[in-house]
Structure 1
Amino acid sequence: MSTPPSEEPSVRRIDRILAFMSLGIVVLSIACFLSVIIATAVGNQDFSGGVWPVVYLVQMIGPVIAFLLLVALLIMSFARKGRSSSRD
């Protein structure tokens, strides 16, 4: 006799939100990084005013926040799968 296939727990809305937030922050961080590289190559040396401090801040803390969101997503996913396997 074959064993019935185990059902995977469905993906919750919060999992999708965390995944897309992490991806969006990484994309935004890469865009900020590229804008700083392009502005430096063009010769813009005044990064102390305007939008540049925010660009630098996003560039520096964006990957860290995205990583923490992914860790939270992994922990939630492992906990959900552990609960569903313990019920069987």
Structure 2
Amino acid sequence: MTFNRTERALAFMIGGIIILGVLCFIAMIIMWLTDSGAQGSMPWPVVMAIPLVGFPIAMLLVFTLLGITWTRRARANRTAR
């Protein structure tokens, strides 16, 4: 069974958001280990907010992808009978 364009786009969006969130976590850990006083300077509040917003959005996209995939497979099984 092949993925259609919507499923492929959702999968790449999920992967990109998760990778970006993990990279931001790694950057925050490095920042806290090297210079913990730099939290208030400009790029760090944005870097800290990306995982807080990105991971819930990625989880919603995962559920959407699962719903689309299950619906497509159910339709394919109904027509195969």
Query: Are positions 1:59 and 2:51 aligned together?
Result: yes
SS in 2 for 1:46: helix
Percent identical across equivalent pairs?
A: 32
RMSD of the TM alignment (CA)?
1.2
Counterpart in the other structure of 1:33: 25
**TM-score w.r.t. length of structure 1:** 0.82
Q: Which sections of structure 2, spanning at least 5 residues, go unmatched?
A: none
Superposition pairs for residues 66-81 of structure 1, below 5 Å? 66-81=58-73
Question: Aligned-pair distance for 1:68?
Answer: 1.0
Q: Distance in 2 between matches of 1:57 and 1:43?
A: 18
Larger radius of gyration: 1
How many positions carry a matched residue from both structures?
Answer: 80
Contact 2:10–2:61, Cα closer than 8 Å, also in 1: yes
Contact 2:31–2:38, Cα closer than 8 Å, also in 1: no
Hey, which bits of structure 1, 4+ residues long, moved more than 4 A? Answer: none
Q: Which sections of structure 1, spanning at least 5 residues, go unmatched?
A: 1-7
